[in-house]
């Protein structure tokens, strides 16, 4: 008996056991259609899963690119802010340790119309300048 015929006989025996009687041609066609439908559904699920995986991978890649851009922007902002602190940090060295942190330097407006006017207090304190110096002395992140 050829292998093909042997496979066919084995298939008929399995089908007979499954349905409880020798299969008719209609039973066999019905079984094949059911198998085909099940295979098509499985293939559709697999395709959907692969599409979802691809979509998720693309979304993750896009998010990684966005995070890289945000990181570069944050690093540029840190550099800019450190540069802005430098004059304040340098000025902190001009104040002795005996000057309290809450001291506000006074700005003298030269040529003010009232010679008795000594100037106006700064919005920042010596402590603000010292904190700027301390922040710049820390290692860069």
User: In this structure, what token pair is assigned to residue 91?
Assistant: 């000025």
Domain count along the chain: 1
Structural domain of residue 72, as residue ranges?
3-137
Instruction: State CA 28 to chain mean position distance.
Output: 54
pTM for the whole structure = 0.50
Q: What is the pLDDT of residues 63-100, one digit of tens each?
A: 899 999 999 999 999 889 989 999 989 988 888 888 89
Q: What is the pLDDT of residues 12-46, one digit of tens each?
A: 778 778 877 777 777 777 777 888 888 888 888 88
């Amino acid at each position: 008996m050829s292998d093909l015929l042997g496979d066919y006989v084995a298939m008929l025996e399995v089908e007979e056991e499954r349905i409880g009687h020798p299969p008719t041609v209609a039973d066999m066609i019905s079984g094949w259609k059911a198998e085909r439908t099940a295979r098509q559904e499985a293939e559709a699920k697999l395709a959907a899963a692969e599409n979802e995986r691809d979509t998720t991978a693309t979304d993750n890649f896009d998010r990684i690119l966005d995070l890289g851009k945000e990181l570069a922007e944050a690093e540029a902002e840190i550099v800019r802010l450190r540069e802005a602190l430098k004059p304040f940090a340098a000025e902190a060295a001009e104040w002795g340790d005996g000057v309290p942190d809450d001291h506000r330097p006074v700005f003298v407006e030269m040529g003010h119309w009232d010679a008795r006017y000594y100037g106006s207090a700064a919005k920042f304190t010596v402590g603000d300048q010292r904190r700027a110096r301390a922040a710049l002395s820390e290692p860069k992140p």
